Amino acid sequence: MPEHWLIWTVVFLAVLFDYINGFHDTANAIATSVSTRAISPSRAILMAAGLNFLGAMVSTGVAKTIGGDLVMDPAQVSLEVIIAALIGSIIWNVLTWYYRIPSSSSHSLIGGVIGAVSVSVGPAALSGEGIGKIILSLVMSPVVALVTGYFVMIGILWVVRNYSPVSLNRQFRRMQIASASLMAFSHGSNDAQKAMGIIALALLSGGYIETMEIPVWVKLACATSMALGTSAGGWRIISTMGTKIFKLEAINGFAADLNSSVVIFTATLLHLPVSTTHVVSGSIMGIGSAKRVRAVHWDVARSMLVAWVVTIPLSAGLSALIFFIIDFIAKL
């Protein structure tokens, strides 16, 4: 069994990852409702924090996928490797938050594990089938959100076609509070579980647990950390998510939140990790296209797409470099 300080370092970094994920991805849950002025920013953040916590406590299926499907044998993965993966992912998340790039925390975590494991015990230790399933889920979820968002918006517009715009705007602002609540709950149900899975992988690797089960204290620690991070706010990304992709009105914001929450929670029920950032962005693009394809600022969407594509390889490279540094220091 490894030294106890290593496992507590993993726990600290995983909880820190969830905290950063909380303020990094706060924009996903509240950007639409804040940008349409359906709810004040302070109330939106408090609401999102509480519902993120509740969402994080409802399931552990995604955590088991992250902890069990990335590597062939947890015993091959040392705690130093997991530490390097988490540090690389955290650095990437902080950099993208600072430069207001709505990148994916999920992609950075997966990339971090791939990079650190590849240079420590070799690519053969990675589960190709498991990683393929996870990446397919990450890639397909925004596409699904874009398509369903388009049809959800078309359907809502047809239902309310005989109502006056002023009345609609007032009603949908009220309804946005409910849809934003669903969005925050679904965000917690999927995103918080990724750090839970990494901690469980570390506990299994170190011999602290015998099966891929998530201890209650791990669930509480990750849920609390994400809620606290959410309460810190992610203002730098909110403007990009809420206004720069497509100028949202209340009806659009409601449709985006509703569509995103359904896609994310469906993935949670299927034990599949998805990127909340990608799903929300896909929903906004689909909903904007339903109004007019040219209404979507595709240049912003393209720059976001580039950030998404490079996240896994760059975070993998960063985590690999950090592992070399840790390994060099350990040999001194």
pLDDT at residue 133 in the model: 94
pLDDT at residue 26 in the model: 63
pTM: 0.88
pLDDT at residue 299 in the model: 73
Residue pair 280/262 in contact by the 8 Å Cβ criterion: no
> Which of 191, 245, 179 has its CA nearest to residue 44?
179
Rounded-to-integer distance, Cα 131 and Cα 117, Å: 13
Q: Residue 215's domain spans which residues?
A: 4-330
Q: How many other CB atoms sit within 10 Å of the CB of residue 106?
A: 28
126: helix, strand or coil: strand
* Cβ contacts of 236 within 8 Å, gap of 6 or more: 97, 98, 100
pLDDT at residue 65 in the model: 94
pLDDT at residue 221 in the model: 95
Number of domains in the chain: 1
pLDDT along the chain (332 residues), means of 10: 82 94 71 73 81 90 93 91 96 84 83 96 94 92 94 93 80 87 91 93 91 93 89 57 60 90 96 89 88 73 76 94 93 81
Residue type, 133: K
Q: What angle do CA 65, 66, 69 make, to 5 degrees?
A: 65
pLDDT at residue 28 in the model: 65
